Structure 1
Amino acid sequence: MTAETPISALWPDPSPTPLDDDALVARYRRADAPRLRMNFVTSVDGAVSLDGYSAGLSGEPDKRVFGLLRMLCDALLVAAGTLRHEGYRAIRLDERRRAWRRTHGLAEYPTLVVVSGSLDLDPTQAAFADAPVRPVVLTCDDAPAAPELAAVADLVHCGAGRVDLAVGLAELRRRGLDQVLCEGGPQLFGALTAADLVDEMCLSVAPLLAGAGAGRITAGAASPQRHLPLRHVLLAGDGTLLLRHARH
């Protein structure tokens, strides 16, 4: 069995001792209030993908934090395009992480939430067909009828011509899904930023240069700048930086 790549703390409480999962959970802990947390990986020169996919940027330390963030959330939010392109499977956790959730009074699995104005989604994709918890799709009133999708997911209408993300988040919170983790993609990140809905950003910086071609982790129309203070800096043994920015 290959040993985990060590992750240590650089700031604000530096420690050369590698952080175990309990220590990482303490640093990425659930908030006391409803929160929307973004999670992305990027190259040093700002690429969101390699050869069109984010997986090429993600090393073992990023995947470790990725799994812990999924364990901590109530809902996993993703754009339809990212769900299709990245080939999302059912959101399942191993027994150890399910046990942690049970101990902390959470459902065994987070709820998958997909944002889609067109409902161009395949109900046979494993993310829907094999889901341990019935997914939610945030859509709009102008979306076409999708009876096959409605058979495997709750379709929630939020807005007329486009999905109103603030309304959608309010609906998730009405359902008790207070801690929302968003994995993108860039257009959804840009829309959430424009609506001032992002409370926290977890960013893994892979120690490589991707070169020209790939887009940034955020995209879409220009929006006002949003201040998001740095909360911690962790360093993995492979050189990956793990940053956490959050509102007060």
Structure 2
Amino acid sequence: MNVGIPISALWPQASARPLDDAALTALYGRSGRPHLRMNFVTSVDGGVSVDGYSAGLSGEADKRVFGLLRMLCDALLVAAGTLRHEGYRAVRLNERRRAWRREHGLAEYPTLVVVSGSLDLDPAQAAFADAPVRPVVLTRADAVAPPGLTGVADVVRCGDDRVDLAAGLAALRRRGLGQVLCEGGPQLFGALTAADLVDEVCLTVAPLLAGAGPGRITAGDASDVRHLPLRHVLAAADGMLMLRYARDRP
């Protein structure tokens, strides 16, 4: 099924024919091993937001891939600050995408996983209160949960002075959540990179100049430079470029 603005492949195998959802699904796919995929959108000049929000950079084609990546994952990982700032609601999929998941032996919905060192979370936020699958919160050992949080989410403690992301991902794998999609924010992306946990980056480049002000898609402490091979380049009729970089782990 092909919906909305056409998306075509530019590389490695160029095709003028628009990609339907089946072709996009095959391009992005699922890994045969535990895998952490990042998904971000940026302006041409590297801005992470417009007027403070990432939505100003997105478009129809980007949203299509955004929804597809959510369909493919077991868990959707997001930092607490991004959850609050972007106003995350419950992670839900349409019937067509839920049917795809059922056909492939997956739960109908991915599990929302929130990283929060302080547990400064609102249990009444729709992301928790209206979730079709009980969310998971990764936090540090001594963080104090606000009243009501354990009623709507599983709190997993990993790390003492900060959240141990490697231990958190291992805890997710024990729950059967091996294919993880991370939507940020920049501090979480930087921490995952520093811990050498990032397997893949899906980056949409919006045909916009955001100007000075917005930060980058990654932030935090410096980390080693790592090679991430380019896997494909897609182009949308609205000028969006969708890039996928991924490494092969031994």
TM-score normalised per structure 1:
0.98
Query: Which secondary structure state, in structure 1, belongs to the residue aligned with residue 239 of structure 2?
Result: coil
Deviation of 1:236 (Å) = 0.4
1:139 aligns with 2:139: yes
1:244 aligns with 2:220: no
Q: What runs of 5+ residues in structure 2 fail to find an aligned partner? A: none
1:146-188 deviation digits (Å, cap 9, x = unpaired): 3410110000000111100000000000100010000000000
Distance, in Å, in 1 between the alignment partners of 2:23 and 2:91 is 24
Distance, in Å, in 1 between the alignment partners of 2:87 and 2:192 is 23
Task: Report the residue type matching 2:180 in the other structure.
Answer: V
- Mean Cα deviation higher: 141-150 or 98-107: 141-150
**Partner of 1:37 in structure 2?**
37
Within 5 Å, give how 1:60-209 maps onto structure 2.
60-209=60-209
Native 8 Å contact 1:90 1:128 kept in 2? yes
Deviation of 1:191 (Å) = 0.1
Query: Which secondary structure state, in structure 2, belongs to the residue aligned with residue 203 of structure 1?
Result: strand
Q: What runs of 5+ residues in structure 1 fail to find an aligned partner? A: none
Native 8 Å contact 1:30 1:72 kept in 2? yes
After superposing on structure 2, the runs of 4+ consecutive aligned residues of structure 1 that deviate more than 3 Å are: none
Distance, in Å, in 2 between the alignment partners of 1:146 and 1:235 is 45
Deviation of 1:226 (Å) = 1.3
Native 8 Å contact 2:228 2:247 kept in 1? yes
Task: Report the residue type matching 2:161 in the other structure.
Answer: G
Distance, in Å, in 2 between the alignment partners of 1:4 and 1:94 is 16
Native 8 Å contact 2:71 2:110 kept in 1? yes
1:187-224 deviation digits (Å, cap 9, x = unpaired): 00000000000000000000010000000000001111
Distance, in Å, in 1 between the alignment partners of 2:76 and 2:245 is 19
Distance, in Å, in 2 between the alignment partners of 1:116 and 1:66 is 23
Query: Which secondary structure state, in structure 1, belongs to the residue aligned with residue 9 of structure 2?
Result: strand
Distance, in Å, in 2 between the alignment partners of 1:164 and 1:172 is 12
Native 8 Å contact 1:142 1:162 kept in 2? no
Task: Report the residue type matching 2:239 in the other structure.
Answer: G
**Partner of 1:59 in structure 2?**
59
Distance, in Å, in 2 between the alignment partners of 1:117 and 1:98 is 32
Distance, in Å, in 2 between the alignment partners of 1:163 and 1:194 is 13
Distance, in Å, in 1 between the alignment partners of 2:144 and 2:135 is 18
Distance, in Å, in 1 between the alignment partners of 2:124 and 2:146 is 13
Task: Report the residue type matching 1:164 in the other structure.
Answer: D
Distance, in Å, in 2 between the alignment partners of 1:145 and 1:239 is 44
Alpha-carbon RMSD: 0.7
Native 8 Å contact 1:139 1:156 kept in 2? yes
Distance, in Å, in 1 between the alignment partners of 2:160 and 2:151 is 22
Distance, in Å, in 2 between the alignment partners of 1:143 and 1:210 is 37
Deviation of 1:144 (Å) = 1.4
Distance, in Å, in 2 between the alignment partners of 1:137 and 1:162 is 14
Deviation of 1:246 (Å) = 0.1
Task: Report the residue type matching 1:74 in the other structure.
Answer: D
TM-score normalised per structure 2:
0.97
Native 8 Å contact 2:5 2:61 kept in 1? yes
